[in-house]
Amino acid sequence: MTIFVYTPLSEDNRNYLIQHLPDGLTVLFRKELSEEEQKAAFRDADILMGNPPVAWFAETGRLKWWQLDSAGFDGYRNVKLQAKVTNMGDYFAWPCAETIVAGIMAFYRNIHELAVLQTQKKWVGVPIRFKLNLLKNKKVVILGAGTIGQAVHQMLSGFQCEVKFLARTNPQAELHTPEELKAVLPRTDLVVNCLPGMAREFFSAEMIAAMKPGSLYANIGRGSTTDEDALIDALQEGHLAGAVLDVTEVEPLPADSPLWTMPNVILTQHTGGGVATEDEGKVDWFIKNLKRFVAGETLENQVDLSKGY
């Protein structure tokens, strides 16, 4: 069987992967091929690692398993495949959760303002103490009960938060419909969005208007799941206390977006899943799943492209 690795791995990581391949497998790396050779390798591959252009899937050949190197895959929702598809949801869940919880804590403790004051060499001190808030005991709704949402919930449990999940079919979720969500929003202090891109503009202007005055909105899912104009209006009008956004509707965020200069917004620039050893982790995850594939075992993190999860 042939493996085509589209992920642009370093030479060290390519060598590491080669050293850990089961017997009888051949691997071709995108970085070592011309563009035409890449397309040919893709067409002939039994196994694919990485996220190639959507257009390439018009000519899939004998592909049996595709390991995405991302958690999200909404750009591939119209791709039709017989092959098994797996993502990196579990791998990126904890970094994403740490980023959004860190942003939430930074907002409540006013770290974002203090960081700006530090760059200005300006000491304010005592007056800031009376602007601070606590994450402890907050009433929270997490949108999406996948791996990222579960990791966020685990972290928030340490702050004694009262947490509810919204998910259409997950039996662990307390909320399953937009109507049920809207009913609890007026009593919710914090909404954490972990939704995939398939839920486009799910968190609508109507949802934002239903939120408790002075509450906080955080998004570690996809920017397209939020009515961003309505969110900006709610922030500017003071209906919401603030927002912590790892993702935005357009990325990079346009220079003329009000979000750049709003003092009640923390932007983390879609860095949520990042770790210094990200590529090494992708290779290790692929090797682990590859061994399961060769052994005929169930693959970890299987997803349905059409459903978005």
Contact 246, 268 (CB under 8 A): yes
251 lies in the same domain as 108: yes
**76: its two tokens:** 């591939």
pLDDT of residue 190: 99
Chain-centroid distance, C-alpha 54? 20
146 and 216 assigned to the same domain: yes
* Whole-number Å distance between alpha carbons of 271 and 306: 26
130-165: per-residue pLDDT in tens? 999 999 999 999 999 999 999 999 999 999 999 999
At 82 the pLDDT is 92
What integer pLDDT is reported at residue 309 of this predicted model? 85
Give CA–CA dist 259/185, Å, rounded.
23
Burial 2-12 (b: 16+ CB within 10 A, else e): ebbbbbebeee
DSSP string, 73-85: -GGGTT---SSEE
**What's the mean per-residue pLDDT of the chain?**
96
Q: Are 171 and 215 in the same domain?
A: yes
Statement to judge: residues 78 and 12 lie in one domain: yes
Q: State residue 53's pLDDT score.
A: 96
Nearest to 71 by CA among 250, 307, 301: 301
pLDDT of 307 above 90: no
CATH number at residue 43: 3.40.50.720
Answer whether residue 307 is part of any domain.
no
The tens digit of pLDDT for each residue in 48-102 reads 999 999 999 988 779 999 999 999 999 999 999 999 999 999 999 999 999 999 9
Closest CA relative to residue 214, chosen from 187, 193, 242, 191: 242
Residue type, 131: K
User: Which residues are CB-contacts of 140 (< 8 A; sequence separation ≥ 6)?
Assistant: 156, 161, 162, 163, 164, 188, 189, 190, 191, 192
Which pLDDT belongs to residue 61?
A: 76
**20, pLDDT greater than 90:** yes
Domain coverage including residue 50 = 2-90+275-294
The conformation of residue 50, written as its DSSP 8-state character, comes to S
Residues 32 and 179 in one domain: no
Position 300 in a domain? no
pLDDT at residue 59, as a whole number: 82
pLDDT tens digits for range 254-265: 999 999 999 999
Same domain, 174 and 286: no
Residues 6+ apart with CB under 8 A from 165: 141, 142, 144, 145, 149, 153, 172, 173, 174, 175
pTM over 0.85: yes
- Quick one: 208 and 111 in the same domain? yes
Q: Which tens digits make up the pLDDT trace of 181-234?
A: 999 999 999 999 999 999 999 999 999 999 999 999 999 999 999 999 999 999
The residue among 103, 140, 142 whose CA lies nearest residue 266 is 103
Residue count of the chain:
309
Rg of the chain's alpha carbons, rounded to an integer?
A: 22
184 lies in a domain? yes
Provide the pLDDT for residue 308: 85
In the chain, how many domains are there? 2
At 178, the pLDDT band (50, 70, 90 cuts) reads: very high
For 160-175, what is the mean pLDDT? 96
Q: Map tokens 């960081």 to a residue.
A: 115
Q: Which residues contact 40 (CB under 8 A, 6 or more apart)?
A: none
Q: Please indicate, yes or no, whether residues 75 and 101 belong to a single structural domain of this protein.
A: no
| 302: in domain | no
Q: Are residues 243 and 117 both part of a single domain?
A: yes
Q: Which helix (H) or strand (E) holds 164?
A: strand 162-166
* Within a domain: 301: no
Confirm whether 290 is domain-assigned: yes
Q: Are 112 and 106 in contact (CB under 8 A)?
A: yes
Distance CA 191, CA 95 (A): 19
